[in-house]
Each structure stands twice: as structure tokens, then as C-alpha cells.
Structure 1
Amino acid sequence: MTLALMGAMAFAPAAFAQDSTTTDTASGKRFAVVGGYALSQPTKNPLIGGVRTDLDGEGAATLSASYYINDNIAIEAWGAADKFGHRVNAGGGKIGSVDSQPIALSGQYHFRTADSVVRPFLGLGYYEANYSNETPIAGQRLGVETAKGAMATAGVDLNINPTWFARADVRYMQGKSDVKLNGLNVGEAELNPVTLGIGVGARF
């Protein structure tokens, strides 16, 4: 991921400079879509049935669509196009697995002008993460309810030309899920995942 971002940073200024003689501009374009890939890593180790667990991270494809109210303020719908798979570990070994698929809606502020080569942005919003494909733990049926909460985003867009751009971002999601074993509530799990993502986008 780091090498890809460095390559995009090296390529973007030159590519954007090549289009500097055209009359096209990124300013005033109201819609943007981004396809990418992100790694999701839980930052909390939940108690499941009284056992302290540790969940591994995994990557998945992501998609986002944004509406720009003006050149600096945008509303973004973002989500995982596929499920993040998480291995559940305890006592030094695997005891189960679970998949997660987050979606989110947030407001963002993009700094600098629309045609700047480097455009950092910050965002704050709401997310939900659906959990599925839970495997039994110690012979007990595991159920993890949908997590809901706040999401914070920080990222940067690297303009290639007035239409195309590369993106790197980090998202932090904070929320709790009810955990059930054999249908009985045994507590809450607070995973608070962080996702690190890269992607390519187009605005129009």
C-alpha cells in the first residue's frame, strides 16, 4: 500500500501539469466515485463468553460516492464492497471466525482549491457494521449483532487531472455490538476497527 501511494504521489504532479494548458477544471464538479481496497484491523480485544479474544485484520474492496455541496464540503457514502474476514483467537490459537461489512455516511471538508494537486480532507459521520458467518466457539453458537456508532476519517486526494485522482485514507469506527452464545446475550463487544485504504476516483 505504501509503495502504491508513493507512486501515485510521484505521478500525480507531472500528470496534472500536463493538463494545465486545458480549460477543464475540477472546480464545480459535484459528484465523485472511488473504488479502492482497505485493510480493517480491530483495535479492541473483546470478551466473548468470559474469554478474552483477539481478532485479526483482513482486507476487502471498498466503494464510495460523494456529492460536493461546493468545492470544499462533501457528503460521502462509503462501504465495503466485500466482507472483511476476522480470525478470532484466544489462548494463542484460533477459536472461531466472523465476517464484518461496514457502511457509513459522513460529511467531509476538503482543504485547498479543487485544482490543487494535493488535497487533504477530514470527515465525521455515522457507520453500521453487519457481522455474519460466525463460526461456533467451543461448541456454542456465536452471534454478533450489528455495530453502530461514530466514524472519523482523515485522508488525501492526489489530483492526476481534473477528472481522475488517487486517494489514501484512514477511518476509525467506534461502536458496540451485543454478543450472543446459543441465542443468549453474554455481553457487548467493542471492536473499534481502523481501516487503511487506497483507491482511484473520478469526479464529474
Structure 2
Amino acid sequence: MLKKTLVLALLAASSATFAGNWQVKVGGSVVAPSEDNNTLADGAVTHAKADNAYSFTPSVEYFFGNSNISTELLLATPLKHDVKGSFLGGANEKLASFKQLPPTLTVKYNFKNSTGFTPYIGVGATAVIVWGEKTTGSITGTKLKADNAYGVAGQVGFNFQPADAKNWGVFADVRYADISSDLKLNGTKIGTLDVNPWVYTIGYSYRF
């Protein structure tokens, strides 16, 4: 009897400790690379840029006790980018495509107040996991390899919980990542594709 009582007490304490500490977000994102003037292969390819991509982006967030600090892990369904550029001074065309996943972990400061509107800022790390590289246009038939990449990320946004909502809310945020990928064509490095994307996200949140 004593053991059962102790187990129930520990479970109750655990539930009280973690209640309200977890938040799940479900959103949609636009990943918009900001670099549009990459030069590759000793000038053979100019004005190279990865285009925008769209993704379903769930995330999980943990709040540390009663503090204003939380940490959020952003996930995503696979994104596909086309890479356009000018080959040997020709017209701008689609030269390649690739798929990627951009897991991003940020530590956030939440500006709590007496309203349901909670702004936040964050900083952390991101990665670009690349696969499915294909070439097209003027370089069709060559083999392209893009390296996985890692970089830093910043985040700013807000969560809004209506007065009559117990757990649900809506959110919007913007992330910026400083990230680039080394490229190889037929096994020879041809340069670095700077991506440096802005990530715009809106969606719903649910706090446990």
C-alpha cells in the first residue's frame, strides 16, 4: 500500500511539474533564399539562385518552468528547390534541382504580459540535409552533388491566445539562417551556393 501511494504521489508531482511546459505547433512555411548572385565554376555559371519552396512545418517547444525561456525544434516535410542561373553568358534558365530538410533548433525569450499576445525572439542552429540533386538545361547529363550544411539561425515572432481559448492559439514568425552548401559537378568542386533563406511561418499552437 505504501509503495502504491508513493508511486501515485510521484506521478502526480511529475504531471504538475510538466503541465503547461510543452507546446506543439502546426504551420505552413515559405522558405525564400535571399542570395541571388552566386558565381560558380570559375564564372561559367553566374546569377545562380535557389528559388522559393513551401512546406508543412510542425514544431515542438519546451518551456523551462515559470521562466520566459523556451527551446523550439522546427521540423518540415521535404522541400524541393530549383536552381536557376546563366550558363556561359546565356539566358537565365533552370540548371538543377534538389530536395532538402531544414531542422532548426532555437532558444527563445518570450515577452510575457497580461494579454494573450506573446512576442518572442530566438537564436540557434540550423542544418540543410540535401538529397535528390538533378541537373537540367545546359548542364543536363552531369552529376551534381550538394553537401549538407550547418549554420546559425535567428527568429522573431508572436503567439496569440484568445481569451476564451484554454490551450489553443495562433502564431506567426520569421526565421533567418546563414547557410550555404558546397557543390561538386562530376566530382569536381565548382563553388559554394549561398542560400541564406528567410523562413516565413504561420499556424496553430497547442500548449499542454
Using structure 2 for the length normalisation, give the TM-score: 0.79
Match of 2:72 among 54, 66, 76: 76
**3-state SS of paired residue (2:135):** coil
Equivalent of residue 63 in structure 1, options 58, 61, 66: 58
Unaligned runs of 5+ in 2: 1-18, 86-90
- Which whole-Å CA distance do the structure 1 matches of 2:40 and 2:25 have between them? 36
Is 1:202 the counterpart of 2:206? The answer is yes
Task: Give 1:16's aligned residue.
Answer: none
Alignment correspondent of 1:98: 98
Q: CA deviation at 1:178?
A: 1.3
Q: CA-atom RMSD, angstroms?
A: 1.5
1:177 & 1:58 partners in 2: Cα distance? 17
Structure 2 equivalent of residue 129 of structure 1: 128
Distance 1:68 1:116 in 2: 18
Aligned with residue 189 of structure 2, among 182, 185, 188: 185
Question: How many residues of Structure 1 are paired with residues of Structure 2 in the alignment?
Answer: 175
CA contact (8 A) 2:102 2:127 kept: yes
Whichever of the two has the greater Rg, that structure is 2
Encode CA deviations 1:157-191: one digit per residue, 9 max, x unaligned.
01132311101010001022111111222222211
* C-alpha distance in structure 1 between counterparts of 2:169 and 2:68, whole Å: 15
Distance, in Å, in 2 between the alignment partners of 1:95 and 1:188 is 15
The TM-score with structure 1 as length reference comes to 0.80
Q: Is the 8 A contact 2:49 2:195 kept in 1?
A: no
Deviation per CA, 1:128-185, whole angstroms, max 9, x where unpaired? 0112211125032111111211000001101132311101010001022111111222
Structure 2: distance between partners of 1:30 and 1:123: 17
CA distance in 2, matches of 1:116, 1:182: 57
1:85 aligns with 2:87: no
Q: 1:131 and 1:159 mapped to 2: Cα distance?
A: 36
Of 121, 131, 147, 2:149 maps to 147
1:18-58 Cα offsets, whole Å, 9 max, x none, are: xxxxxxxxxx7100010110000111133333312122102
What is the distance in 2 between the residues matched to 1:84 and 1:194? 14
Alpha-carbon distance in 2 for matches of 1:173, 1:189 = 14
Aligned: 1:168 with 2:172: yes
Deviation at 1:71, TM superposition (A): 4.5
With over 3 angstroms needed to count, the CA separation of the structure-2 counterparts of 1:56 and 1:176, relative to structure 1, is closer
Q: Which residue identity is paired with 1:131? A: V
Task: Report what 2:39 is aligned to.
Answer: 47
Unaligned runs of 5+ in 1: 1-27
State the partner residue of 1:33. Answer: 24
Q: Percent identity?
A: 29
- For 1:154 and 1:97, locate their aligned partners in 2 and report how far apart those are by CA, in whole Å: 30
* Structure 1 counterpart of 2:4: none
